[in-house]
Structure 1
Amino acid sequence: MTTVADRLRIVPEFTSEDRGRLVDILSGKLDRRFKRWDPQQVELEISAKGRDTDQQRVVLECWISGLPKLVATSAEARLDDAIAEVRDDLFRQIDKHVTKQEGSRRR
């Protein structure tokens, strides 16, 4: 099982039938980034407000031991596009923190 599959909480806007699709979209890229932490150090939660409406907003929250809470959001109209956008945004945020930590260790 992957970190995303194991540690992802989905809130009521998504159903248990959505879980497989969510894990498929989120896992590949994020799991590569999560390899530096024990899976127990990672918590993920995804939610969607106004799902399938013009006001849709998808939020992916992430808690990783040693990092501040990370939040990625998307207002993309297509749900799959919104999920991919929050995945990519979260990846960038994690990468930024990892790069900053590695840079401070080198000094």
Structure 2
Amino acid sequence: MTTIAERLRIVPEFRPDEYDRVTEILSGKLDRRLKRWNPEQVELEISVKGRDSDQQRVALECWVSGLPKLVATSSQRKLDDAVAEVRDDLFTQIDKHVTKKEASRRR
């Protein structure tokens, strides 16, 4: 089981028939970035507000041991595109913190 599949909470604004697709989109790239932590050190939550409206907003929140709370958001209209956008944004945020931490250790 992947970290995403094990540690992701999907808020009820998503329909149960979408859970597998959301997990699939978030897995892979993001799982590779989270491998440095034990799954128990990671919490993820994805939500969508204002669904199917001009105000739709997808948020992916992440709590990882040793990092501040990270939040990625998207206002993309297509749900799959929004989920992919928050995945990529969260990956970048985690990568930034990891790179910064590793650079400070080398000094």
In which range does the TM-score fall when normalised by the shorter chain?
over 0.9
Mapping 1:50-89, distance limit 5 Å: 50-89=50-89
Identical residues among aligned pairs (%): 76
Residue 16 of structure 1: how far off its partner (Å)? 2.1
Unaligned runs of 5+ in 1: none
TM-score of the superposed pair, with normalisation by structure 1: 0.98
Residue 15 of structure 1: how far off its partner (Å)? 2.3
Residue 17 of structure 1: how far off its partner (Å)? 1.6
Q: Distance in 1 between matches of 2:45 and 2:65?
A: 15
Question: How many equivalent residue pairs?
Answer: 107
* CA displacement 1:25-57 (0-9 Å, x = unmatched): 000110000110000000000000011211100
User: What secondary structure is seen at the aligned counterpart in 1 of 2:53?
Assistant: coil
Are 1:10 and 2:10 an aligned pair?
A: yes
Q: Distance in 2 between matches of 1:8 and 1:15?
A: 15
More deviation, 80-89/10-19? 10-19
Q: Distance in 2 between matches of 1:12 and 1:19?
A: 10
Q: Distance in 2 between matches of 1:3 and 1:91?
A: 14
Unaligned runs of 5+ in 2: none
